[in-house]
C-alpha cells in the first residue's frame, strides 16, 4: 500500500524580513552613539579647557585605532561648527537634538504653494462645505500640477495628509470634537452654549499710510482714541439663540476708598456721573455693562432646581476656571469645557464664524470718533444683525 501523500512545505520568503510594528530580537546593542547639541557643546568646551586626549579618554573611553581617529575628526568638526552648536544648545526646543533641519526641508511642495491649501479649506468652510480627506487630496494634486510636478514626484500619500492635518491643527480639532461629542452622549446634554470675549476698539482708521520704499511718510490726523476700547462678552447656543452681551468699559478710578466701595456696591463700579448714562444705555439696549457674574445672569434660574445639565464652551483663561466659578457652575448644573488654547482659530466657534461679521459691521461705521452711546448702540446692532445660520 502506497504511503499517503504529504503536502510540500511552503517556500521561505526571499528578501529582508518585515520589522515594522515588530520588536527586534535581543536587547539593544548600542552600536551608534547619540550626541545632542548640549552634549557636543560640553565636549568641545572640555577639549578647550583641558586637551584633545583628555576629551577622547573621557567621552570616547575605550576607542582605539580607527575608532579613536574617527572620534578625533568628529570633535574637530564640532569645534568648527561651534557657533551653530552653541545656538542650538541654548534653545530648549533643539538642545536634545543632534541635527536640525530648516522648515520646508525635504518637502516636494514649497511652503508658498502649500499655503494655498489651508486658505482653500477656510474658503470652503465659510461657504458651509465640509472638507474631507479625499477633497484635500484632490486639491493637493491640483496644486502639484500647477507647480509642474508629476504623479511620480508627488503622490499625496496618507502620511502627507496626516502630517498636513496635524500641522494645521485639524488633529486637535478632531480630538476636541470627539471629546465634546462623548461628553454630550454621556451626560445626555441637549443645550450647548459657547461664550467668547473680544475687544471693541473706538477707532480702526490707521494713523499713517505706507508707500513704496523711498517715499515720504504722510501722517494723517486722527482722533487720538485708537487705543481706547471696551471688552464684549458674547454668548450663543447650539439652536442659534443670541443672548444679550456683557460690555466692560473703562472709567477713571476714584482715589477715595469710600467712593470706590460705594461704586462697586451700588453702581457696578461706575461713578455717580457715568452711572446715569449707563442706566440709560441699559434701558435702550439688552446688553449689560460691566457685568462679571455671567453665569448668575444667564443661568441663575437653574439653581436648586435639579434641571438637566447643559454644556458651556469658552476659552482657557484662569479666571474662567477659578474655584469660585467652578463651584458656581456645579451649583447651576453647568458643565464647563475649555477650547484648545493653541487652536482657537479652528476650535472656537466664535473665532471661526462670529467675530469677522461682527467686526466688519462695526468697521463700516468708523468715520469719526464715536461716543460711548454710539459704540454701545453699534455693537448691539451688529450682534442683533448676525443671522441665525451663522450662529
Answer yes or no: do 44 and 118 share one domain: no
What's the Cα-to-Cα distance from 118 to each of 57, 115, 124, 200, rounded to whole Å?
A: 53, 6, 10, 28
**Range picked from 12-16, 28-32, 82-86, 337-341 for highest mean pLDDT:** 82-86
Q: Is residue 206's pLDDT more than 60? A: no
Residue keyed to cell 471688552: 231
Inter-axis angle of helices 66-80 and 37-49, nearest 10: 100
> What's the half-sphere exposure (Cβ side, CA atoms, 13 Å) at 311?
19
User: What CATH number did the domain enclosing 366 receive?
Assistant: 3.30.420.10
- Beta strand 310-314 pairing with 192-201: parallel
Average pLDDT, the chain: 78
Answer yes or no: do 194 and 320 share one domain: yes
Q: Is residue 127's pLDDT more than 60? A: yes
Phi/psi for 27 (5° steps) reads -75, 160
Q: What is the pLDDT of residue 49?
A: 92
Question: Is residue 292 one of the residues assigned to a domain?
Answer: yes
Answer yes or no: do 163 and 267 share one domain: no
CA-to-CA distance for 341 and 348, rounded, in angstroms? 9
Q: What is the pLDDT of residue 320?
A: 79
**Range picked from 81-90, 306-315, 370-379 for highest mean pLDDT:** 81-90
How is 283-327 classified by DSSP, letter by letter?
Answer: HH-S-EES---HHHHHHGGGTTS-PPPEEEEE---TGGGSHHHHH
Answer yes or no: do 267 and 313 share one domain: yes
Look up the domain containing 249 and give its range. Answer: 188-211+220-385
Burial 28-37, CB ≥16 within 10 A → b, else e: eeeeeeeebb
Contact criterion met (CB below 8 Å) for 37 and 81:
no
Answer yes or no: do 245 and 363 share one domain: yes
Question: Is residue 104 one of the residues assigned to a domain?
Answer: no
Mean pLDDT over residues 254-281, rounded? 80
Answer yes or no: do 315 and 358 share one domain: yes
The count of structural domains within the chain is 3
Least confident of 73-77, 123-127, 294-298, 302-306: 294-298
Answer yes or no: do 377 and 309 share one domain: yes
Amino acid at each position: 500500500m502506497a504511503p499517503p501523500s504529504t503536502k510540500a512545505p511552503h517556500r521561505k520568503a526571499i528578501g529582508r524580513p518585515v520589522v515594522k510594528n515588530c520588536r527586534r530580537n535581543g536587547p539593544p546593542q548600542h552600536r551608534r552613539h547619540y550626541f545632542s547639541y548640549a552634549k557636543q557643546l560640553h565636549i568641545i568646551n572640555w577639549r578647550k579647557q583641558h586637551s584633545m586626549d583628555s576629551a577622547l579618554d573621557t567621552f570616547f573611553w575605550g576607542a582605539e585605532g580607527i575608532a579613536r581617529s574617527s572620534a578625533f575628526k568628529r570633535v574637530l568638526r564640532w569645534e568648527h561648527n561651534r557657533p551653530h552648536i552653541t545656538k542650538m544648545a541654548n534653545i530648549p526646543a533643539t538642545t536634545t537634538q543632534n541635527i536640525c533641519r530648516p522648515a520646508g526641508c525635504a518637502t516636494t511642495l514649497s511652503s508658498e504653494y502649500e499655503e494655498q491649501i489651508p486658505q482653500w479649506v477656510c474658503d470652503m468652510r465659510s461657504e458651509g462645505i465640509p472638507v474631507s480627506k479625499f477633497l484635500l487630496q484632490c486639491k493637493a494634486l491640483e496644486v502639484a500640477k500647477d507647480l509642474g510636478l508629476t504623479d511620480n514626484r508627488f503622490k499625496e500619500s496618507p502620511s502627507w495628509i496626516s502630517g498636513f492635518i496635524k500641522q494645521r491643527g485639524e488633529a486637535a480639532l478632531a480630538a476636541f470634537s470627539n471629546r465634546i461629542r462623548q461628553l454630550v452622549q454621556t451626560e445626555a446634554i441637549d443645550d450647548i452654549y459657547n461664550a467668547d470675549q473680544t475687544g471693541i476698539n473706538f477707532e480702526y482708521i490707521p494713523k499713517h499710510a505706507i508707500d513704496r520704499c523711498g517715499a515720504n511718510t504722510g501722517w494723517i490726523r486722527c482722533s487720538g482714541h485708537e487705543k481706547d476700547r471696551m471688552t464684549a462678552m458674547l454668548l450663543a447656543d447650539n439652536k442659534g439663540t443670541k443672548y444679550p452681551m456683557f460690555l466692560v468699559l473703562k472709567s477713571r478710578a476714584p482715589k477715595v476708598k469710600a467712593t470706590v466701595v460705594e461704586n462697586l456696591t451700588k453702581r457696578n463700579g461706575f461713578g455717580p456721573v457715568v452711572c446715569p448714562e449707563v442706566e440709560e444705555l441699559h434701558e435702550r439696549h439688552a446688553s449689560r455693562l460691566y457685568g462679571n457674574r455671567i453665569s448668575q445672569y444667564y443661568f441663575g434660574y437653574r439653581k436648586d432646581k435639579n434641571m438637566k445639565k447643559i454644556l458651556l464652551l469658552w476659552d482657557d483663561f484662569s479666571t474662567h476656571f477659578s474655584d469660585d466659578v467652578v463651584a458656581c457652575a456645579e451649583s447651576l448644573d453647568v458643565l464647563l469645557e475649555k477650547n484648545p488654547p493653541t487652536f482657537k482659530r479652528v476650535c472656537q466657534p466664535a473665532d471661526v464664524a462670529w467675530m469677522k461679521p461682527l467686526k466688519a459691521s462695526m468697521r463700516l461705521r468708523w468715520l469719526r470718533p464715536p461716543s460711548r452711546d454710539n459704540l454701545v448702540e453699534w455693537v448691539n446692532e451688529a450682534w442683533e444683525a448676525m443671522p441665525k445660520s451663522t450662529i
